[in-house]
A and B are shown apart, each in its own frame.
Chain A
Amino acid sequence: MYKIKLTKGKTYLVTILSIGFIVVGIGCITWAMINIGAQPDYSVPYEYTTEVANIKSEPSPVPLAIDIDKNLYPVDPSAGDNIGSLTIPALNQELPIIQGTGTDELKEGVGHFIQSVLPGEEDNCVLSGHRDTVFAKLGKLKIGDQLIVETSAGIYTYEIDATRIVDKDDKTVIVPTDHAVLTLSTCYPFDFFGDAPDRYIITADLVTNK
């Protein structure tokens, strides 16, 4: 008699637990799906315009001294502003650049690290993007590939000169440089599931500006 009662109680508990698991599980899936869906899709093929093709065909002397005006941007953009676009011909991608690297800004596109100079300026400009959205294919880029940044100040073409993997707390990436450099950073490894203890870094030198 007593035994039957106990198993009955046990059954009841297991039922409650399993229903709870399923509810929480489905909740998590829905929540994740909504958020993944909310991230804009940037796999839209980028139109390879003749303009960019021309830039590419130009011989690019590296490193070169480009006469850069220190004050390219009369007004500082505020966090959340769209400041231009980053075109990666090798990946057929054109990505918006947003001022700031907070959660909200990275949701919108590539984030410009606020405490670095703006694109085209004579120093290290740092752009960051999510490994699971905008920069998902960053690992496919090779040395010599071009990165084209278009902002209110002009069109700047950079050429990748190095890629490396650093720890997430590495302090040698965001540093001043003596010439115009574009640094891209994203989380590493590129797998969508699991932890991301490292960062994938691409550095590129400015080759042309107009």
Chain B
Amino acid sequence: MKKQSKMRVISLSLILFLLIIVVIPTKSIAAPQTVSLGTTSRFAVLAGSTITNTGTTTIDGSVGADIGLYPGTAFEGRTNVTVSGGEIHMTDTNASKAKDDLLTAYNDAAGRPKDVTIAADLGGTTLSPGTYKSESSIQITGTLTLDAMGDPEAIFIFQAGSTLTTASYSTINLVNGAQFSRVFWQVGSSATLGTYSHFEGHILAMESITANTGAKIMGQLLAQNGAVTLDSNSITNGINIAIVTPTPMVTPTVTPTPTVTPTVTPTVTPTVTPTVTPTVTPAVTPTVTPTPTITPTPTVTPTPILVIAVPTTAPGTVTGGQLPKTATPWYNVFLTGTVLTLVGGIMAWSNRKH
């Protein structure tokens, strides 16, 4: 009798234990957490060995347009990179810290349990939020659609065992609230983005990343060990803008003026207030439809464009500049040449005499 009850307790606890084991992972599959990028989120481009750019590349981002390099030092074609809203960190502590954070983020993304094993080519498919894994490479030819199904918090994680390659003119299409800042590509070796392709998401590559001519990237190019190669690209990174989207907040509540101001975040206020105040006094409801102006995207990024180049002219003259070298070596070379010829001639002459 006693033994039986003991057995029951054991079996019950076993079932409970099994349930916990089964439920917890399924729950985490249902709502995967975003991959924490740490300080890496500030960088649009981060590389280990070198950064090479050809053509004119523009990098934008409200806070995430930095370029970092560590431990490498060579950034070729830097003058043709236009950065707005970011800084260049060459082999400094910021870049070093970001590289550490990148490794953490990479391991986090790589360690996520997969929901679905995917075919090598994702072109022409539509995927819902989740974690997708390919043991070898991932290829995108044509259009890949990522459908967040109305959830702006939805996370897409792609794990490529080896390479990620997108074909020329391929596109990633984000629909129903999907956001590039919530799409992560963990790449076991290297990533290559095709010419004039359109890419969305953060690339966390173990080796290098190559963006071919004209490739447009919404997100980040983060290469742990190797190089990042750019060619006439446009890269946009930053805090996700789409979180501001819920327009219904504004439309129904516009009965009196006070309710508008608090809900509309600081960036929006200037455009709203002037249009609202004059008409509100007698009859509010029909006239107050200023919603079209609240499309958040253009107002969020007013940062001035600054061209990253070695500052050509200082705001003032520096203190203690090194005086330039203003003697050519050519007269000395000429003199040396004359002496050498003379010595050679004398030697040859005396030798012939012997």
Flag if A14 contacts B326 (CB, 8 Å).
no
**B19 in the interface, Cβ–Cβ < 8 Å?**
no
Partner of A76, one of B313, B330, B342: B313
Interface residues of B in 311-352 (CB under 8 A from A): 311-314, 316-328, 330-348, 351
Residues of B within 8 A of A116 (CB): 314, 317-318, 321
Flag if B317 contacts A115 (CB, 8 Å).
yes
The minimal Cβ–Cβ distance linking A28 to chain B, given in whole angstroms, is 3
Number of A-B contacts (CB under 8 A): 171
For chain B, give the interface size range: 35 or more
Residue of B nearest to A35 (CB): B330
Residues of B within 8 A of A32 (CB): 330-331, 333-334, 337
Residues of B within 8 A of A28 (CB): 333-334, 336-337, 340
Residue of A nearest to B334 (CB): A32
Residues of A within 8 A of B313 (CB): 73, 76-77, 114-115, 117-118
Flag if B339 contacts A25 (CB, 8 Å).
yes
Residue of B nearest to A31 (CB): B333
Binary contact track A92-108/B, C-beta < 8 Å → 1, others 0: 00000001010000100
**How many of A's residues come within 8 Å of B, CB to CB?**
69
Flag if B312 contacts A25 (CB, 8 Å).
no
Flag if A19 contacts B344 (CB, 8 Å).
yes
The minimal Cβ–Cβ distance linking A7 to chain B, given in whole angstroms, is 8
**A124 in the interface, Cβ–Cβ < 8 Å?**
yes
Residues A25 and B344 in contact in the complex (CB < 8 Å), given A130-B327, A174-B323, A199-B323: yes
Partner of B347, one of A7, A18, A177, A187: A18
Binding site for A on B (CB under 8 A): 309, 311-314, 316-328, 330-348, 351, 354
Given contacts A172-B320, A175-B319, 20 further A-B contacts (CB under 8 A): A7-B354, A15-B351, A17-B347, A22-B340, A22-B341, A24-B340, A25-B342, A29-B337, A32-B331, A76-B312, A106-B324, A128-B326, A130-B328, A131-B326, A132-B330, A166-B323, A169-B323, A176-B318, A196-B326, A199-B323
Can you list 14 contacts pairing A with B, beta carbon distance less than 8 Å? Answer: A14-B351, A36-B334, A39-B328, A79-B312, A116-B314, A116-B321, A117-B314, A123-B317, A125-B317, A133-B328, A135-B326, A166-B323, A176-B316, A196-B327
Binding site for B on A (CB under 8 A): 7, 11, 14-15, 17-33, 35-36, 39, 73, 76-79, 99, 101, 106, 111, 113-118, 123-126, 128-133, 135, 166, 168-177, 185-187, 192-194, 196, 199
